[in-house]
Amino acid sequence: MVTRTSILLGVFVICSYAVTIVKAGILDRRIYNKSFTGGKEDSPINHDLGPPDHLDAVKFERDGDANVEFLQEIFLGEEKHHFKNAKSREEQLEELKVIFEKANLNKDYGIDEHELHLWIMKMVGDHMQQSIEDSRRKYAYIRGNSPAEAIDYATFETAFLDLLRKTNATENYRFTNDYMAARLETVKQEWQKADLSSDGKLNEKEFLLFQHPEMSNLTLLNSVKEFLEERDYDDNGKLDEKEFVFGFPVGDIVINDYMDGDILLRDKIIQFRKYIDADDDGFLDFDELKVYMDPFSSVNARNDAHEMMFYVDGNEDGELSWDEVVDASEFLTGTKLYDASSYFHSEL
């Protein structure tokens, strides 16, 4: 069972590393104005008190699939909303320039891997803080003037359906009865997972877990377990380089032969050896994989910085210049060059 400490795991990690606390952003303002979102900007699930379907700034989505927008989100952060709203290429580059200058902490030629690591930690910290504020405001809205210290499911369901019906009354009945029933069933399942005390009610900390399971150690442990089981073909409880790099049985091959071959495979080998295999024994055990997959781990942020450098640092001088960022802007902002990252994450 997840403990109170487990729920707050990410909070304690981020508080140690975040550079600043994010000011009220787009989601925060919507919640304050009682205009809620259940997902991304372009999600059909809007004005929804349920948990978001899309989890920003984490590698794995609610359903366990890879978040193909992950690198975009940890580079753009809250600024991605401004970027997507930019009307022209020039405006988009202006927004990207703002991000570049913020991430370039020493204001020199470019962003080195250390600066990128710190920037990613800040973006994940911003996501964490925004998620907490998001959850708090929803919780307060649903609770209203009730003196109760927890929300029961009936109270939540009433508020959930009432808000969707109010939306329908003003937005040409965008939500059908079938949709609301199906959405409510999914939300109910997430509610039950977050009800750690099994009393049918969620206190404020459980409600945060309901809205953002990525903050739960249980979610992380399940993801690591599935990742390990899918690749551990010799059933020894750990992954060797071949199992990690290829994800399927490859027979009798020499892994070093791939260091000069496919650049994606080469980079995964480097990640295995340099960043993930902490004890350098040639295997990844459960604890090492947990660090690798923890979205709020500083070690994991370093891996992500390394991956982004791999894609963007064209001249391999160890710094991302403004020109390189412009050249890779479609990758960094989620359009066609991002296909490479989508492939990479699907392989992981």
Average pLDDT, the chain: 74
Among residues 90, 87, 95, 118, the alpha carbon closest in space to that of 105 is found at: 118
333 — pLDDT class (breaks 50, 70, 90)? low
Residues 6+ apart with CB under 8 A from 59: 66, 67, 70, 293, 295, 345, 348
d(CA 146, CA 137): 15
pLDDT at 142 over 70: yes
d(CA 180, CA 242): 46
Domain residue ranges of the chain, discontinuous segments joined by +: 4-215, 218-347
d(CA 183, CA 48): 10
For 294-321, how does the pLDDT look when each residue is reduced to its tens digit (9 = 90+)?
877 887 788 788 878 888 898 999 999 9
For 234-292, how does the pLDDT look when each residue is reduced to its tens digit (9 = 90+)?
999 999 999 998 888 888 888 888 887 677 778 788 878 887 898 999 999 999 988 88
For 60-105, how does the pLDDT look when each residue is reduced to its tens digit (9 = 90+)?
555 545 555 666 667 777 666 566 666 687 888 888 888 899 999 9
Would you call 303 exposed, middle or buried from its count of C-beta atoms within 10 A (0-12, 13-18, 19+)? Answer: buried
